[in-house]
Every structure is written in C-alpha cells, then in structure tokens.
Structure 1
C-alpha cells in the first residue's frame, strides 16, 4: 500500500477562498490529502466519492451553515466533523459538541492544536472503520462455516488454512478429487480477502481452446475487452490446470510472471493485478513428469498447497452434510424435509461417495424430489440411475422441476447476476423474477 493510500484525508468546507487555501497549505505540508469546497450544500453529493477521514467546516457560511451541515449528516456513517469559526463563543461551541461535532476551534487558530485535533478525529474514524470491517469479516466467517460444513479434523484444518491465507497475495494450489469443493474454497479465499469487492474469474482449463484463447482472454483492440482485463484487481481461478493445453500454459505463465498482457492488435500492454488460485484433481508432480503440465508454471502456482479431503475420509460429517442439503432443497422445492431413518443412515455410511460432496448434494436433491411425491429413500436417492418413479406425476410438475433446475444452474453459472441469467435463458428480467417467485427459488441458497 502506497504512502498516498495511507495518508489521512480531510474535507475542508469554507466560503472564504483565502482561508481554504491557507488550510490546504497547512494540511498538505503536514502530509494530509485534502479536498476543499466553498459551499456546505456540495458535501452530501461528494462525500461518498471523497470518503475523507474527517470534515473541517466553517460555521458561518451563506446558504447552509456548518451547524446545519452537521445536523444533515448521518453521524453513524459519516466521518467526524470539526467546526472552525471566527465568531465562536462558548454557547456555540457547547451546541456544536452537543449536536455531535468532534471539536470546535476558534479563528485565528493554533496550527499545532488544529492538526492535533484533526489527527485524533481521523484516527478515531479509521479505528471505527476497522472495527466495522472486523464485524463484516466475522459475519463472513459464519458463511465459511456453512460452505465448508463439517467438524472432522481435516475440514477444520482447511477452514483454518483459508482464514490464514485469505489476506495474503500468495498463489494457492488446491488439490482434491472431483467434487471435494475446490471452487468453494477458492471463492472463500477470495471473499474473505482484501479483493472481495473485485471480480472472481473462474476458468475451466480443460475447456480453454488454444485457437481462441488470446482473443477471449486478452481481448481485441477496439472490439472486446478480454476476460483477464475485466477481472483486473480480483482473483483468477484456474480449475483443472493440468488439463490446460501446453501452448495455453505458456501464455498463462507469461501473464502471471510479467503481470501484463497485450490485447490482439494493440501495441501497449495492459498492467494486471490478479491473485492466482489454481486447482487439480490429480497429482500435479505426476502431470509434470508425464509432460502434461509445465514445471515452471507449477512453480508459479504452488507457493501454498491445500489438500481437500475426500468425503469417505470424513464419514462423521456425512449425515450433517446430507441433512444440510436436504434442508436447502426442501426450501427450494417447497416440501418438508423427510426424517432420516436408521436404514437411511446405514445407506449414507455404507456408500463410498466417489463423487464426494457434489454427489452427496445431488443425492439429497433426488431424495427431496421423491419426497414431493410421498415416496423414496436415501438408498434409492444414492443410485445415480433414474427410475420411472423419479418422473413427476404431471406435465405441470415436470415443467416446474425442469425450470427450477435450469434457472438454478443459470443463477450459479452467472454468480447471481440476474441480468446475465435472464439473457442466458432467453427471457426478460421481469419474466425471470416472476418465475423465481412462482417456483420458490432461493437465490442465496443456490449461491
């Protein structure tokens, strides 16, 4: 983080041009970032954009006074305010403090005292913002418990590793069988880190075509912005990296090493700032030995390696996870979740779950679909082959089941961006909203 980013900032509001200039000179000489306005009426519009650490305002100004400005601001969300006036007296100072001002300074002011008051106010505001960020982080941690559900030692260690690594820029390689939740972990690393508000770009390396890679990922000058540039500042998730074509691996390596790319037809490179998280469902070292994965690329990706346990290695979590998924799908399909019998529990624990958590989730959905028709068991739900009994009784119900599945997949694929979901499905946004309400879909549960 640069010194410019860490410098304290102040918004100065004073109708006297010479006084504004004097305050700007004083504060910038002391290392502050400053913005100055001649009218208090301009503050409300510009405050969200400027986001200062403290406001320094004159009291007597035409139109809106400093006291009026103080009353107009939401003190729960706006920075502290210090008032300054050449006409100050004790009653005015008392009123200002009672109304929520941080402090009151008379003109002519003592520069050292003014700087001290402003610094204390700004430090207090930054501390409060830090506390709020901590609260938000803790709230997200409860979400991490939901997406990485379980109490066995292996999954507990994965959760702790995610918390430890989220704030770092280190590249992370996720190893684990198909269905163990590698993308879930990648998203958690992104969501809990400082890039949470920036894009998360997931690339299925097995589906990257060499012929169109540069155009799609780098972009074409004057025509389209590449996906990598669109994700700038965020996280790049390379799924199944060992399945990536070798020529594409070379281009990805160059982007990661040089932290820039040049769109097709352009001459000026674009700087990139991306955290790289990758994943593989096989032994990466073996893939290198077999010539399918570049060793130099692996060295760039495996600064930290996290291994996700298969579901069969955490059997104590199976019933907890299955119950969790049953509850989710019961809400989606508007049916009461069936109680698990002893036979159900035996079926859950007897199965090896080669598809891991993904297979378990799909079995839970099949169990709920059967429960809608008053039949079914966990043993039947575990079977991947569909029987005639799994078919809905009526055409209306079959259409509803199909629409739920199709819309749900689109919501997941487009990460909840409803305009993109509507476009992908070929329907209007209003029609999509009506179907979501009619079908009882829970977008948050799907994501």
Structure 2
C-alpha cells in the first residue's frame, strides 16, 4: 500500500458530510481536518498549511445561491494565494461551481458524491498544492541565492579616468536589456563588470549565472547550455536543465566566448535569434528570457576576422561594448587595490592589517602587471603570508616574475639549469614560459601546457604567479 501523504481541510455545515469525508479520506491522506463553521477558516489556515481544501458552496438551510461559498473562497485565497480549493456543490449547482472556478477554485465535486471521484479529485488537488509549495520554496531560494551572489560580489575599485568612464557606461547600459560584450586582457575583472551590470539591472533580483565556455568540451556544449532529456545519450541518466533555462529571468554571463569554435557559434546564434532552446533529445523548444553578457580577451580587430568569429553573432552580442583598461594604464589605482586586498587577506589568514611603505607602493606601481589585477592580488596574498615586518616593504614584492613586462621566451633567466631535475622548478619554468609566450592568455597557455584553465589557475596560485 502506498504511503499516505497530504493534508486535507473539509469545510461544510452538514455534519454527515464531514463524518463521511473524514472516514473516506483518512484512508488515503495523512491528515484530515474538518469544521462545520467557516468562521474557523482564518484560525485553521494560520495554524496549519493544507495541501487541499474541500469547501461547501452553501451554508445554512435553504441556501442555494453559492454567495457564501464565493465569499469564503476569496477569504482563503487572500490568506493563501497558492491554496488549492475544491468546491462542494449539489447536482443543480454546477453552473455556480464553474463560476467559482473562474474566481480561483481548482475543481468541484457534486453531491451526493462518488467515493472514487472524491479520492481521485483530491489526490490531484494535493499534488497540485504540493507542487505549488515546492515552486514557491524554489523561487524563494533562488531569490535569496541571487541576492547573496550579487551582494557578496566584490566592488569595482578605481578612480582613474578610464575606470570613471567605464562606470559611467555601466550605469547607462545596466538598466537596459541590451546584450553587452566585455573586452579586456586576462585578469582585468571582466566577470566583476558583468556582475555589476546585473546588480544595476532590472533583473538584479533574479539569478546571475556564469559559464566559462573555454572549459566546456565541444561534445558537452549543447547539453551544458541547452540541457538534455533522459536517455538522449549514454550518460544521460536523468533530465538536465541547461544554463539558458536555469538563468531564465536573470543574466547569463558567457566568459571566453572568443574561444568558441565556429560551428558552436552558429548554434548559439540560433538560440539568441529565436529566444528558445531545444534540449538534446527533446522535440519541443523551450522559451528563454535571459540577458546575455559575453566576455573575451581577444582584441576587437581579431573578433572582426570572419575566419575566427561569426560577424552575425558578434552583432547580436555587442549591442554595447565595454573595454576594460589593463592595470598598467591605471597605475594610480594600484595603492587602493593593494590596500583592499591586503585587508582582505589579513582577515582570511587571521593576521593584523598593516600599511605599505612608500617604497613598497612605488615598487608595485613600477611593475607592468601583464596578469593585471589578478596578478596584483596574488602578489598581495603571497606578501601577506610571508611578510614578517610591521609594514609591507618593497622587498616583499621583489619576486615580480608574474608582474614584470613580458620578456622573450628564449634565454629566460627564470629557466632552471639543464641539469636541474627538480620537478617543482621545472613546472614553474614551463608555466612561466607558456604564460609569457602567450602574453598571459590563460586559455592559450593552458592548451599549450596540456592543462585545463582551472588546472592552470591552480598551478599559478601554487607557484605565486
């Protein structure tokens, strides 16, 4: 026998109906509550959440208009807009019951009723009520998660003229639903700008979802972005919601879009044009409502190369284009950034905050930071861990390999001696060489090293790069 589930409330002035309903329904549902006084409805709903409510249309001898039923239906829906209400009516009152459904009732039962009909109707009503509750919980959770994800995002730091212009453009573009293309070198903070666009948009209460296209295998592209149905391929053991549908109502951030192969660019273009996706293995498309923000470290002139990037897709994505300045072009922001990250890592590692000496700030400002803000952040983290003085000194940042201007690969001074077989030093040299060779393009360097982007980032952090 299936496990009983669901709670039912029966409201009827006929005591025989209440007794019969309780005896019938308690065999099928977990809890059955009855009352012959509709005035008890407010107290009962305040005390308990019912999956379905069985409500009589008329109360009192001789009543047949259904007006009382309409009135109490409205009371219930005011107290709980998601309540599932099934009306009880006499055979001759079907038209009245239909009117009640127009006013918000879910279904009706005619009396004298048939037991099978009552059980079937209320079973469906309970499932509907539980699904509504689950939907409400998920919406609440999504709203909380969306607020937390945006609220916890770090703020954009910088008062240099290029940053002031960037913030001005963000403020103008954010309130619209226009697609935005963010250009900038690795480490300049493209995702941070995307989150700021979302935070200032009309979609800020909905989800912000980021996708690193550079880390998705081509064979999984459609499944990840569009979803799939159970059995669509060997490993599809259950339905999967794609990123476009999961971000519906909010913002979808497509990072590293410049690395997307041309044949996958065509699939993405189709989705953006039709505003719908078809999960792998499905026959019907699913409508989507997302704002797309894309980002790439590829220069705009290279994006205009048709052999590399579809121009029709580019036109879809770059309604507004934002270009992030490299850190070397806004050196006046380095002291504020360094102070911010020093405070952050002091809290993270349980250390006392300490200031920077003038020589330390001058040393930081003198470097070109090809890894941009990300490289500066790593340098501050390393210094926070290793520095043993009361303030940061220039020597704390003497190891500027990750921050120095890109040097020729041949004759790299950081390379170990030919007879040096230490794996740590060999790995550091290989990573440094690949980064410099590709001018800190993480995707290209990772590919050259035979690593994923995530694996390369982990090794960069390990070596303080």
- Normalising by the smaller structure, the TM-score range is 0.5 to 0.7
CA contact (8 A) 1:232 1:272 kept: yes
List runs of 5+ in structure 2 lacking aligned partners: 1-41, 43-57, 60-65, 84-146, 231-237, 403-413, 415-465
Name the CA shift for 1:338/1:228 in 2 (closer, same or farther; >3 Å).
same
Whole-angstrom distance in 2 between the partners of 1:382 and 1:147: 28
Give the structure 1 partner of residue 15 of structure 2. Answer: none
Give the structure 2 partner of residue 183 of structure 1. Answer: 191
Aligned length: 272
Give the structure 2 partner of residue 167 of structure 1. Answer: 175
2:268 to 244, 252, 255: 252
Give the structure 1 partner of residue 156 of structure 2. Answer: 148
State the secondary structure of the residue aligned to 1:327. helix
CA contact (8 A) 1:249 1:297 kept: yes
Whole-angstrom distance in 2 between the partners of 1:266 and 1:298: 28
User: Alpha-carbon deviation of 1:373?
Assistant: 8.3
User: Alpha-carbon deviation of 1:143?
Assistant: 8.4
CA contact (8 A) 2:186 2:372 kept: yes
Give the structure 2 partner of residue 286 of structure 1. Answer: 302
1:235 aligns with 2:251: yes
Give the structure 1 partner of residue 215 of structure 2. Answer: 207
Give the structure 1 partner of residue 291 of structure 2. Answer: 275
Whole-angstrom distance in 2 between the partners of 1:155 and 1:142: 21
> Following superposition of structure 1 onto structure 2, how do residues 94-173 of structure 1 map, counting pairs within 5 Å?
147-173=155-181
User: Alpha-carbon deviation of 1:374?
Assistant: 7.6
For structure 1, which segment, 208-217 or 290-299, has the greater mean C-alpha deviation from structure 2 after superposition? 208-217
State the secondary structure of the residue aligned to 1:353. coil
Whole-angstrom distance in 1 between the partners of 2:211 and 2:370: 24
Name the CA shift for 1:268/1:316 in 2 (closer, same or farther; >3 Å).
same
Whole-angstrom distance in 1 between the partners of 2:75 and 2:309: 58
1:331 aligns with 2:347: yes
User: Alpha-carbon deviation of 1:353?
Assistant: 1.3
CA contact (8 A) 1:200 1:237 kept: yes
Name the CA shift for 1:149/1:20 in 2 (closer, same or farther; >3 Å).
farther
User: Alpha-carbon deviation of 1:382?
Assistant: 5.8
User: Alpha-carbon deviation of 1:366?
Assistant: 0.9
State the secondary structure of the residue aligned to 1:147. coil
Residue by residue, what CA displacement relative to the aligned partner does 1:18-62 show, whole Å, maximum 9, x if unpaired? 37858x9xxxxxxxxxx82159xx72xx27x69xxxxxxxxxxxx
1:37 aligns with 2:45: no
Whole-angstrom distance in 1 between the partners of 2:358 and 2:214: 41
Moved over 6 A (4+): 140-144, 373-376
User: Alpha-carbon deviation of 1:163?
Assistant: 2.1
User: Alpha-carbon deviation of 1:207?
Assistant: 2.2
Whole-angstrom distance in 2 between the partners of 1:383 and 1:269: 54
State the secondary structure of the residue aligned to 2:209. strand
Give the structure 1 partner of residue 96 of structure 2. Answer: none
Name the CA shift for 1:372/1:200 in 2 (closer, same or farther; >3 Å).
farther
State the secondary structure of the residue aligned to 1:151. coil
User: Alpha-carbon deviation of 1:242?
Assistant: 1.3
Larger Rg: 2
State the secondary structure of the residue aligned to 1:362. helix
What's the RMSD between the two structures over aligned residues? 3.5
> Following superposition of structure 1 onto structure 2, how do residues 20-99 of structure 1 map, counting pairs within 5 Å?
21=70, 36-37=74-75, 43=79, 46=80
Whole-angstrom distance in 1 between the partners of 2:373 and 2:184: 12
User: Alpha-carbon deviation of 1:296?
Assistant: 0.7
Name the CA shift for 1:305/1:383 in 2 (closer, same or farther; >3 Å).
same
Give the structure 2 partner of residue 301 of structure 1. Answer: 317
Whole-angstrom distance in 2 between the partners of 1:261 and 1:290: 25
Name the CA shift for 1:351/1:300 in 2 (closer, same or farther; >3 Å).
same
TM-score with structure 2 length normalisation? Answer: 0.52
Whole-angstrom distance in 1 between the partners of 2:161 and 2:150: 18
User: Alpha-carbon deviation of 1:319?
Assistant: 0.6
Name the CA shift for 1:384/1:376 in 2 (closer, same or farther; >3 Å).
same
TM-score with structure 1 length normalisation? Answer: 0.54
Residue by residue, what CA displacement relative to the aligned partner does 1:202-235 show, whole Å, maximum 9, x if unpaired? 1222223221211222222132222222222221
Whole-angstrom distance in 2 between the partners of 1:157 and 1:309: 10
State the secondary structure of the residue aligned to 1:289. coil
Name the CA shift for 1:379/1:177 in 2 (closer, same or farther; >3 Å).
farther
Whole-angstrom distance in 1 between the partners of 2:245 and 2:288: 7
User: Alpha-carbon deviation of 1:385?
Assistant: 5.8
Whole-angstrom distance in 1 between the partners of 2:200 and 2:188: 20
Whole-angstrom distance in 1 between the partners of 2:392 and 2:303: 43
Give the structure 2 partner of residue 319 of structure 1. Answer: 335
CA contact (8 A) 2:356 2:391 kept: no
1:194 aligns with 2:225: no
